[in-house]
Structure 1
Amino acid sequence: MSEVETTNDQTPAPKRKDKKPSRSQLRSASRRLALQAVYQWQMNKTAVSEIETQFVIDQDRDMDSCDKVYFRELLQGVTASAKKLDTLFEELLDRPLSELDPIELAVMRIGSYELSQRLDVPYRVAINESVELAKGFGATESHKYVNGILDKLAQRVRREEIAARREANKESNK
């Protein structure tokens, strides 16, 4: 096959190079897959190692387009500390934890994990990524609920980061 593709009028067109996904795209894909894995763990109580193996082996899952190390960390970290994560946001809820939609619960656990354990992930990124997961997998308005809860949680666990950002914004507006 030729190195150069042709257009409809048979003139050579430059061959397109597939761009490698950015780090943020890889991380987003990791979160998406981790959400599915955490949801499976919540619903079936399958061993985390078994779920992880299923995801790695399953050809329908696009593990090549994600950061596998980050996927593994999210899956293992969220499942190992689920009770602790739940206590971080439980008092912010307007209903008992047991009444949360399982997708919302999984999304909030992932968001809470990133907010409390992954200080290298900016709080706004952690919240936004969780909101996007809720939009993609949750009920119609669940992303608004997730946003509100995680924003309140960020005010508690990322107080210094938020204050520094506000101060920087004040300085730039002068």
Structure 2
Amino acid sequence: MKLTARRQARELALQILFQTEFAPQISPQTLLDVFEQSVEEETTSYADALIKGVQSKKAEIDAKIQASSAHWKVERMATIDRNILRIAVYEMKFAADPIKENIAINEAVEIAKKYGTTESASFVNGLLDQVSKAR
């Protein structure tokens, strides 16, 4: 089954956001350029929008995540989970054309199953559900 361009873009954005946490000296654009040859332009374009959006709204996104997380500080969350959450919250709450919350949550959960730990999917699901209920 071929992944949708948007799912691929979310995964690509996740990989780049994850990498930039460990190597902040490498620009996201440099990392995106590496993938540009192997994926469709539509995918890299949406991934770029997600990356720039998450980076520009990071403080507000993290505040929403923190407000919905009673027991976890954002900086103590697993790096993969934190970045999956950031992408989903950006798409739900901050994107120029926000996507439906249930779609953002389902996408984040599927990506968490693929890239996270065995607990990641339920953690991401529960936290994003709280974010979606908060106004």
With structure 2 as the length reference, what TM-score do the two structures score?
0.86
On the 8 A contact 1:115/1:126 being kept in 2, the answer is yes
Alignment deviations for residues 4-61 of structure 1 (CA, whole Å, 9 cap, x no partner):
xxxxxxxxxxxxxxxxx7xx810000000000011112222235xx3223322347x7
Shift of 1:106: 0.4
The structure whose RCO (Cα within 8 Å, separation 6+) is larger is: 2
On the 8 A contact 1:29/1:66 being kept in 2, the answer is no
Which residue in the other structure is 1:71 paired with? 47
Q: State which of 112, 115, 119 in structure 2 corresponds to 1:134.
A: 112
Q: Does 1:45 align with 2:7?
A: no
Q: Which has the higher helix share?
A: 2
On the 8 A contact 1:26/1:65 being kept in 2, the answer is no
The change in CA–CA distance for 1:25 and 1:65 in structure 2 (over 3 A counts) is: farther
Question: Taking every aligned residue pair, what percent have the same amino acid on both sides?
Answer: 27
CA distance in 2, matches of 1:66, 1:134: 23
Shift of 1:154: 0.9
Which residue in the other structure is 1:124 paired with? 102
Q: Does 1:111 align with 2:80?
A: no
The change in CA–CA distance for 1:140 and 1:111 in structure 2 (over 3 A counts) is: same
CA distance in 2, matches of 1:139, 1:53: 28
CA distance in 2, matches of 1:46, 1:63: 24
Q: Does 1:147 align with 2:128?
A: no
Q: Which moved more, 1:107-116 or 1:118-127?
A: 118-127
CA distance in 2, matches of 1:34, 1:101: 16
Q: Structure 2: any 5+ residue segments left out of the alignment?
A: none
CA distance in 1, matches of 2:39, 2:24: 22
Q: How many residues were matched structurally?
A: 132
SS at match of 2:4: helix
Matches within 5 A, 1:158-169: none
Q: Does 1:36 align with 2:8?
A: no
Q: Structure 1: any 5+ residue segments left out of the alignment?
A: 1-20, 158-174
What is the identity, as a one-letter code, of the residue corresponding to 2:40?
D
On the 8 A contact 1:55/1:63 being kept in 2, the answer is no
